[in-house]
Structure 1
Amino acid sequence: MVMANLMTVFLVMEVILTGFRFGAYGLNMNYYLMSCPLMEPVVKDTLNKALQDDPTLAAGLVRMHFHDCFIEGCDGSILINSTKDNTAEKDSPANLSLRGYEVIDEIKKKLEKQCPGVVSCADILAMAARDAVFFAGGPVYDIPKGRKDGTRSKIQDTINLPSPTFNASELIRMFEQHGFSAQEMVALSGAHTLGVARCSSFKNRLTQVDTSTTLDSEFAKTLAKTCSFGDNAEHPFDATRNNFDNLYYKSLVTNNGLLTSDQTLYTNPKTRNIVNSYALNQALFFLDFQQAMVKMSMLNVKQGSMSEVRQNCHKIN
């Protein structure tokens, strides 16, 4: 029965992805097949070398892709630098800890030599996040390409990013606005199996009584010790910060979730069973995560006159 259900899921995914190959939603799996045929190897090889030097970049790239897509869609706007007339998304307090810009720049530089003006920064970021998950030990998935780069990047738009202090109900409402179910939200939250958070994002749990979450007493002592080094002190989301696995969900079950927005997924009855299922079944988490990531990578993709392919990912042409 389980095998039959998995086969059904894979068949559904194949039907969906086949639609993308033929241009659904303005995107296409083979978008660069003729215009930049070596694009995929360039992305993978450059990213692999970068992660060998610094495995922590995987978390940064996945998070950057998420922060890009949730603001004005997956359009590479997170990469744009501020100017004297405009403060861009990347300079929002919520984005100051993002990492991996240099990897995107290196990929863009190589692709501009091979096929100038063809591959968008938005596509590069989406592919880099996809491959970062794979190289960290996560699921293999592909995404349709053909995104264009947006021409808007404003700090005020980042108010629409989920806060680390959100409870599950607030997270469900915010993700629903982007077309995601509660299950898809919990699956995407599993990206926190990679990386760290700063004390400034979780110290509220040490100083306030939060009725929406619980905190293991020994874990609270560990977090207090981390925060003794200041707001910028970092603590991993789980014990395998550079490995993509389901340990994040196992941590929630034992009340060792780092952020309020993490632990609330287990204390809320609407999401508790989903957390339990992912904690018990890593394969199920991987399957749901890859489907949710493909869906997220298509949020409000840009086409038409209000978009472009940037020559430099950090500024509008």
Structure 2
Amino acid sequence: MDKNLFFILAFCLLLHGANAQLKIGFYNSSCPQAESIIERVVRLRFRNDPSVTPALLRMHFHDCFVRGCDASILVNSTRTKSAEKDAGPNETVRNYDLIDAAKAQLEAVCPATVSCADIITLATRDAVALSGGPHYKVPTGRRDGLVSNVEDVNLPSPALTVPEAFAFFGPKGFTLVDMVALFGGHSVGVSHCAFFQDRISDFQGTGRPDPTMDPRLAETLLKRCGTQSRPLNRDPTVFLDQGTGSVFDNQFYGQIRSRRAILKIDQELALDPSTARIVSIFASNRTAFNQIFERAMIKMSKIQVLVGNAGEIRKKCSVFNPRPKGKRG
């Protein structure tokens, strides 16, 4: 085995105690068409909009890192209660309608059988594969949560240091290697200028760009973004990977090693001694990156899952099933 790949695998620990009630092919008997239906919905959307991949990666991450992978991010707010969907960090999450479309087709053939949480997980897996990434087998059997509170949303900022970011990932059961691999999701997708504007013009109040950013990149970004903040719906965007921004590959790691990261946390991964070697290995070994990304995504999909009789199988992903008063958390 390649010594660098061995180094990575040696540090990649699978999550202990993962719930045995999740299993590959959970719906083989109850809804044998489930995974093919979801894949078809994702494929049709991808043909017209390849950005579905980063959108679903973001949705999956934002769901699992709050209350676990329970589809609580899909629930709409009501007149009396604000749900996770309306939290600031979720303002740019999109493609809820894709999940709804898959759910509607599944309800037509297998009523009250396939959870919205499993739809998010499977759709994300399919989108990654369509973008050129690995196609991994993911266990299913999750159930949907009964709670969605805007106050519960606490997600890592793109301006964190590596130790600050790991303070979010470590308690979820991830290693540093897992974390670096998951940030490889930035191989696809864009960022609004608002999330890195200080790096290109007035970094930490210095009146100058971030010294860790390639000056030529900073100049290009300044022309694109300017110095004035805008509402997100009018804020320009740039690809996080300036080479192959619509292809899921390992080129992102080579770029951040060349000080061409858009987000501060991405640049920190290449600079921090605890993660720099991992970045270097992923940059030169796509197989290593793919393997660890697969493991990390499967691990993430198991965070605090509800199984068995816990939670519910929502009939509509954006609304809790009707329940007797006093039974909702």
**TM-score, structure 1 normalization:** 0.91
Asked whether the equivalents of residues 213 and 264 of structure 1 are also in contact (C-alpha less than 8 Å), the reply is no
Deviation at 1:226, TM superposition (A): 2.1
Who is 1:217 aligned against?
Answer: 215
**Which residue does the alignment assign to 2:327?**
none
Distance 2:144 2:36 in 1: 22
Q: How far, CA to CA, are the matches of 1:307 and 1:32 in structure 2?
A: 18
1:138-175 Cα deviation digits (max 9, x unpaired): 0110111000000111111112x111111111112211
CA pair 186-210 structure 1, distance change in 2 beyond 3 A = farther
2:171 maps to: 177
2:320 alignment partner, SS class: coil
Q: How much does 1:248 deviate?
A: 1.0
Gaps of 5+ in 2: 322-329
Q: CA separation in 2, counterparts of 1:210 and 1:187?
A: 31
Q: SS at 1:269's partner residue? A: coil
Partner of residue 326, structure 2: none
Matches within 5 A, 1:112-127: 112-127=107-122
2:2 corresponds in structure 1 to 2
Aligned letter for 2:107?
E
Note the C-alpha offset of 1:205. Answer: 1.3
Q: What is the letter of the counterpart of residue 259 of structure 1?
A: L
In structure 1, C-alpha distance between the alignment counterparts of 2:229 and 2:40, rounded to whole Å:
37
Aligned mates of 1:225, 1:101 — CA distance in 2: 33
Q: Which residue of 2 aligns with 1:266?
A: 270
The 1-side partners of 2:152 and 2:35 are apart by 31
Give the deviation of 1:26 after TM superposition.
1.9
Contact 1:81 / 1:315 at 8 angstroms: preserved in 2? yes
Tell me the matched-pair count: 308
Counterparts of 1:2 and 1:215 in 2: how far apart (Å)? 32
1:304 deviates by 5.4
CA 1:310/1:140 → structure 2, altered by over 3 Å: closer, same or farther?
Answer: same
**CA deviation string 1:72-94 (max 9, x = no partner):** 00000111111111111111111
Residue number in structure 1 paired with 2:304: 300
C-alpha contact (below 8 Å) 1:149/1:310 kept by paired residues = yes
Q: Does structure 1 retain, via aligned residues, the 8 Å contact 2:145–2:306?
A: yes
Which runs of structure 2 are paired with 1:13-52 in the superposition (5 Å)? 24-52=19-47
Q: Corresponding residue for 1:226?
A: 224
Tell whether 2:184 aligns with 1:190: yes
- Letter in structure 1 aligned against 2:181: A
What are the superposed Cα offsets for residues 106-159 of structure 1, whole Å, 9 maximum, x if unpaired?
110100000000000000000000011000000110111000000111111112
With normalisation by structure 2, the TM-score equals 0.88
Match status 1:129 vs 2:124: yes
Task: Output the CA distance in 2 between the equivalents of 1:156 and 1:202.
Answer: 25
Change beyond 3 A, Cα 1:174–1:68: same
Identity rate of aligned residues, in percent? Answer: 39
Q: Which residue number corresponds to residue 67 of structure 1? A: 62
CA RMSD of aligned residues (A): 2.6
Distance in 1, matches of 2:131 and 2:66, equals 26
The structure in which a higher percent of residues are helix is 1
8 Å CA contact retained: 1:213, 1:260: no
1:312 corresponds to? 316
How many Å separate the matches in 2 of 1:233 and 1:142?
36
Separation in structure 2 between the aligned mates of residue 151 and residue 213 of structure 1, nearest angstrom: 46
Partner Cα distance (2:42, 2:153) in 1: 27
- What is the aligned counterpart of 1:53 among 48, 51, 59? 48
Residue 2 of structure 1 deviates from its aligned partner by 3.1
Amino acid at match of 1:234: T
Residue aligned with 1:35, SS? coil
After the TM superposition, which of the residue ranges 144-153 and 301-310 deviates more from structure 2?
301-310
Deviation for aligned residue 1:210: 9.1
SS at match of 1:71: helix
Question: Which one-letter code corresponds to 1:224 in the other structure?
Answer: L
Residues 170 and 123 of structure 1: CA distance in aligned 2, closer, same or farther (over 3 Å): same
